[in-house]
Amino acid sequence: MNKEFDIIRRYFKKTVSNAILGIGDDAALIVPSSKTELAISMDTLVSGKHFFADTDPYKLGYKSLAVNLSDMAAMGAKPRWAMLSLTLPKILAEQNEVWLGDFSQGFFELAQTYQIELIGGDTTSGPLSICVQIIGEVAKGDALRRSGALVGDDIWVSGCLGDAALALCHEKQQMVLESDEIDYCLSALHMPTARIVLGQKLIGLAHSAIDISDGLMADLGHILSASNKAATIDLVLIPCSSVMQRVIQRPFALDCLLSGGDDYELCFTASKSKHKAIEVLSEELSLPLTCIGEIIQGEGLIVKDADGNEISMEKTGYDHFRS
């Protein structure tokens, strides 16, 4: 018990100004703005499943918040409050100067970037696992849902895809990367950038949105299922980093691009009439936004190669999507 309260006081309790009551009572108290809806999500990262046990705790703190911010981005919501439930092996709690200090620094560095306040949670001992819950605000009726895609919509993605998955392939020794390539890909894996500003700017532009956490195929697939639509995308249009371009012919690389997880870019659909506005937004944010295909009537997702031929999805992780 002693340790739990020490840990909370030392590493996680900060003065809050956007909450009525933060850490330290049976519950936190907040007053949302009256004209907003609250967007709420939670994501758990489990050691050995979502990260290697020896991952730098600073990056882990950062990422555990980033993946939740990405959900807010995908709704077009402004993230405001977070809760953290940290399950920690005794050995890490005992090394707390090192591990907890770094973890909380990574968490709060990202939190401060967006003025997000940690208002509660708990700490317990057990196998390493991090559960973050996030609450954001979005004007009533404005939230970007998965279900709004319309026939004729352009399909867009932000940034580049597949680099985090390349890093995982490298760490699993499925692929050998050069040292500068590794650094770039590991950074994509460990410190993803949630597209918070983009998400909010897409309100009024996009019909639907999702963040790419399970891979493009799976996540675009969620938009299609929720919207009861089909899509065609062009493989050559999918935005690739220079690293991905260099390795694209190697085994696993195409899987990484199409089905790799952990990108945390946004995939969204918008009317063709918004094409120009989205290009302007891309410049304004200095963030590549790439149109990769189109929403069509029907069911399923068709990926076409450079010659316009349909690519068999058995090869490219389509099974992930079939879930």
Can you give the binding site for a second copy, defined by CB under 8 A? 1-2, 4-6, 20-21, 24-32, 34, 37-44, 46-50, 70-72, 74-75, 77, 81, 83, 85, 87, 119-122, 124-127, 129, 131, 133-136, 138, 140, 143, 145-147, 209-211, 214, 218, 226, 320, 322-323
Shortest reach from residue 60's CB to a second copy, in Å = 15
Q: Which is nearer to a second copy, 184 or 321 (CB)?
A: 321
Shortest reach from residue 303's CB to a second copy, in Å = 18
Q: Nearest-CA neighbor of 136 among 211, 209, 33, 226?
A: 33
Shortest reach from residue 42's CB to a second copy, in Å = 5
Using only the alpha carbons of the chain, give its radius of gyration: 20
Q: Which is nearer to a second copy, 226 or 237 (CB)?
A: 226
How does DSSP assign 240-303, residue by residue?
--HHHHHHTTSTTHHHHHHH------EEEEE-GGGHHHHHHHHHHHT--EEEEEEEESSSEEEE
C-alpha 270 chain-centroid distance: 20
Shortest reach from residue 184's CB to a second copy, in Å = 26
Cα–Cα distance between 231 and 18 in angstroms, integer?
Answer: 42
Residues 6+ apart with CB under 8 A from 228: 299
Shortest reach from residue 170's CB to a second copy, in Å = 22
Q: Nearest-CA neighbor of 300 among 227, 236, 238?
A: 227
Shortest reach from residue 210's CB to a second copy, in Å = 6
Q: Which is nearer to a second copy, 190 or 320 (CB)?
A: 320
Residues 6+ apart with CB under 8 A from 100: 7, 10, 11, 57, 88, 92, 93
Q: Which is nearer to a second copy, 6 or 294 (CB)?
A: 6
Q: Which is nearer to a second copy, 74 or 238 (CB)?
A: 74
Q: Which is nearer to a second copy, 9 or 315 (CB)?
A: 9
Q: Which is nearer to a second copy, 70 or 241 (CB)?
A: 70
Q: Which is nearer to a second copy, 61 or 136 (CB)?
A: 136
Shortest reach from residue 308's CB to a second copy, in Å = 29
> Any bridge partners for residue 139, and if so which?
36
* CA-based torsion, 259, 145, 274, 262: positive or negative: negative
Q: Edge-to-edge strand order for the sheet containing 266-270?
A: 206-211, 266-270, 154-158, 289-296, 230-234, 300-304
Shortest reach from residue 186's CB to a second copy, in Å = 22
Residue carrying the six token digits 């005794």: 90
Q: Do strands 129-139 and 230-234 pair parallel, antiparallel, or not at all (unpaired)?
A: unpaired
